[in-house]
Chain A
Amino acid sequence: MANLALRDLVKTYDRTEVLHSINLDVQDGEFVVFVGPSGCGKSTTLRMIAGLEEVTSGTVEIGGQVVNNLEPKDRDIAMVFQNYAIYPHMTVRKNIAFGLRTSKMTRAQKEARIEEVAGILGMTEYLDRKPNQLSGGQRQRVAIGRAMVRDPAVFLFDEPLSNLDAQLRTQMRLEIKKLHRRVGSTIVFVTHDQVEAMTMADRIVIMKDGHIQQIGSPAEVYHAPANTFVAQFIGAPSMNLLDGRGTASGVTLWTGAALATGPGAEGKALTIGIRPEDLHVVESGGVLTGIVSVAEPLGSETLVYVDVDGKEIIASASGRTPPVAGDRIALDLDVRNLHVFDAASGEALA
């Protein structure tokens, strides 16, 4: 068990800086998810924590100790890889035992530990199989078992679910979360899937181009995004971003509609964010009107793509009596659900 701290972490490849001063504190037992588009530096950060990449500058601390120059094996971590990295020529038992190669346990203790881990993961009956006789989810479990068997202070997961099909991914997501509650270790989990991040994390770290965009609980990053990138990255379908301008009493949208969000940004060019589920289809009135270009029925709701003065806006409509393409509809909103960003910097305004 240990906490983890990244201080001014920088990574440079051939003079190109790919990570710019990453600062993060992970509490003991916390489940932190790094999320961002590919190339944002999330995997690099994880690999630096693991010791698989050199730290260019800054420090990585595990359990209060700077580990920059320690080999991966001396950092008290375990890592689960995207392709599982389980050895095809070894049985499940041997694969899990590989994690204990350097342990000082006796043979019997090791055997007991392997059985225990296999029991937790429900893999006991598969211990003597080879990986090619296992399903994707079972292989994933072997990889986790290999990491668990060493009882590390910090678990590192590098996109472990991206090779699984959608259904299995949902299932493994739940299992990893349960495992975390049961084992209680610190977990750093990297993914590009915001749904994984939202569902699993205690705290989410959203990254882009080697910078941390926001750190917060799933609710915080969803309801109070720090900038337009986070606003659009978290949540599916994405938040609508509309052009607007600050006035004395609030904002005016590009359509001319005035919204009383309160003073504070008079004369400024603004970006107004509104989530699709906060836009309601109404019979008459409403803030925005437009023509439905596409309707996507999802069962519980129907996503409607509405052309409002040349701008496409996504709204969520009832699943029972949805509008159809070509309908002219009105959309209403509650000003309390608006997110106001500076148009130039993209940063959220308080």
Chain B
Amino acid sequence: MTADPRAGTVADGPAHALLFLTCRRSQPVADTSQSDDMSPTARTGLSAHWHRLSIRQKQVVWAWAFLAVPIVFYIVVRFYPTGNAFVLSFQEWNLLGSREWVGFENYVDLWNDPVFWIVFVNTFEYLIIGTPISLVISFFVAYHLDKVRFMHGTIRALYFLPFMTSAVAMAWVWRWFYQPVPIGVFNNFLAQFGIPQIEFLQSTSIALPAVLAPAVWAGLGFQVIIFMAGLRAIPPTYYEAARVDGVSNWTMLWEITLPLLKPTIVFLVVFSSIGFLRIFDHVFNMTTNNPGGPLNSTKPLVLMIYETAFGGRSQMGAAAAQTVVLFVILLIVSLVQLRILRDR
């Protein structure tokens, strides 16, 4: 087989090579060396079928052959569990017993649960505070970093580093930063100037922003890189023409840079919104003794789902209902953002 020099030139894939070889083999009738179990007529039939297809049809066959793998994967790993969760949200199940239909009871319970509404507000606080702040900071950094030539690569790497760091490790380091004197860095710093202690993770009003800060910081590197790619894509002559026209840097920023960055901004707004709506590991790790505390003031929806499902009582149906609610929130927020930002 490998002795055939033409066999080596077939790079389209093993299946193609196989077809090629079968049609090659079937031609010489006098070839007695073949002792395969497939009959020559069957192979002739297959290759004849293949050769009867038009180029377009062959492309379609190949496309589906390659698509089949991810499609199967997605159905098994994504779509089936998703569908299952929807069904489960109308049932009661403790992971071990049988599932029982309860209709909308899980949703009604959720609606009447005061904790859910706290969590609901928290989740949106993460979104509404986190997304704009992280976008403004990352744009500010990218805009200026784009103009810096000195140590450009190093500085960019420094911004990107947190993105590559494990959220768990980061959360614990920040948790240490937030400790009271003499342990916590921030409070030590404040104490040097005689400023009273801030109970970062113990105060119901400050805990949420305190948990959010490292999450913003962690995502910054990614957003900076994306913003810089967007900035680089704007032709420099746009700015040169503006300079010749004599407009201010401020005008250039608002009338040229930002409008032309719109596709980048839309992408980052949607992407980071989804991220903040799904915040979990930072909160969980920074408030482990009392997850989502103090008094549920930092608890996001994903953490609530986690606790409902795996927090001891294994209320899988209720957790599924909460998941469906989260899914609907994500869907609505993303669609609204796309609608608002896309055409204007």
Tell me whether A320 is interfacial, beta carbon within 8 Å. Answer: no
Tell me whether B256 is interfacial, beta carbon within 8 Å. Answer: yes
B244, A50: Cβ atoms closer than 8 Å: yes
Chain B nearest Cβ from A73, distance in angstroms = 3
Q: Which of A71, A77, A87, A101 lies in contact with B238, CB distance below 8 A?
A: A87
Q: Which of B240, B246, B260, B262 lies in contact with A71, CB distance below 8 A?
A: B246
A102, B246: Cβ atoms closer than 8 Å: yes
Tell me whether A336 is interfacial, beta carbon within 8 Å. Answer: no
Q: Which of B240, B247, B262 lies in contact with A101, CB distance below 8 A?
A: B247
A83, B235: Cβ atoms closer than 8 Å: yes
A77, B244: Cβ atoms closer than 8 Å: yes
A98, B243: Cβ atoms closer than 8 Å: no
For chain B, what secondary structure do more than half of its interface residues adopt (helix, strand, loop), or is it mixed? helix
Name which residue of chain B comes closest to A100, CB basis: B245
Q: Which of A52, A83, A89, A98 lies in contact with B245, CB distance below 8 A?
A: A98
A73, B238: Cβ atoms closer than 8 Å: no
Tell me whether B237 is interfacial, beta carbon within 8 Å. Answer: yes
How big is the B interface, by class?
10 to 19
Point out the residues of chain A lying under 8 angstroms from B244, CB to CB: 50-52, 72-73, 77-79
B246, A81: Cβ atoms closer than 8 Å: no
Q: With contacts A52-B240, A79-B241, A101-B251 known, is A85 near B235, CB below 8 A?
A: yes
Tell me whether B259 is interfacial, beta carbon within 8 Å. Answer: yes
Tell me whether B242 is interfacial, beta carbon within 8 Å. Answer: yes
Point out the residues of chain A lying under 8 angstroms from B255, CB to CB: 87, 98
Q: With contacts A89-B259, A89-B260, A101-B251 known, is A81 near B237, CB below 8 A?
A: yes
Chain A nearest Cβ from B344, distance in angstroms = 10
Central interface residue in B243, B244, B251, by most chain A CB within 10 Å: B244
Q: With contacts A88-B260, A89-B260 known, is A81 near B241, CB below 8 A?
A: yes
A150 to B235, CA, bound (A): 23
Chain A nearest Cβ from B20, distance in angstroms = 44
For chain A, what secondary structure do more than half of its interface residues adopt (helix, strand, loop), or is it mixed? loop
A98, B242: Cβ atoms closer than 8 Å: yes
Point out the residues of chain B lying under 8 angstroms from A250, CB to CB: none
A87, B256: Cβ atoms closer than 8 Å: yes
A85, B237: Cβ atoms closer than 8 Å: yes
Name A31-81 residues within 8 Å CB distance of B: 50-52, 71-74, 77-79, 81
Central interface residue in A78, A79, A150, by most chain B CB within 10 Å: A79
Tell me whether A322 is interfacial, beta carbon within 8 Å. Answer: no
Point out the residues of chain A lying under 8 angstroms from B247, CB to CB: 98, 101-102
A77 to B242, CA, bound (A): 12
Point out the residues of chain B lying under 8 angstroms from A102, CB to CB: 245-247
Central interface residue in A81, A85, A102, by most chain B CB within 10 Å: A85
Point out the residues of chain B lying under 8 angstroms from A136, CB to CB: none
Annotate A83-99 by CB proximity to B: 1 below 8 A, 0 otherwise.
10101110000000011
Name which residue of chain B comes closest to A81, CB basis: B237
A146 to B246, CA, bound (A): 13
A35 to B256, CA, bound (A): 32
A344 to B256, CA, bound (A): 53
Name which residue of chain A comes closest to B241, CB basis: A85
Chain A nearest Cβ from B175, distance in angstroms = 45
Q: With contacts A88-B260, A89-B260 known, is A71 near B251, CB below 8 A?
A: no
Q: Which of B235, B237, B245, B259 lies in contact with A73, CB distance below 8 A?
A: B245
Point out the residues of chain B lying under 8 angstroms from A98, CB to CB: 242, 245, 247, 255
Point out the residues of chain A lying under 8 angstroms from B237, CB to CB: 81-83, 85
Chain B nearest Cβ from A144, distance in angstroms = 12
Point out the residues of chain B lying under 8 angstroms from A71, CB to CB: 243, 246
Annotate B239-272 by CB proximity to A: 1 below 8 A, 0 otherwise.
0111111110001000110011010000000000
A72, B259: Cβ atoms closer than 8 Å: no
A133 to B99, CA, bound (A): 60
Point out the residues of chain B lying under 8 angstroms from A50, CB to CB: 240, 244
> What are 12 inter-chain pairs, A to B, with CB distance below 8 A?
A73-B244, A85-B241, A87-B255, A87-B256, A87-B260, A88-B260, A89-B259, A98-B247, A101-B245, A101-B246, A101-B247, A102-B245
| Other 15 A-B pairs with CB < 8 A, given A71-B246, A102-B245, A146-B245 | A50-B244, A73-B243, A81-B240, A82-B237, A83-B235, A83-B237, A85-B237, A87-B260, A89-B259, A89-B262, A98-B242, A98-B247, A101-B251, A102-B247, A146-B241
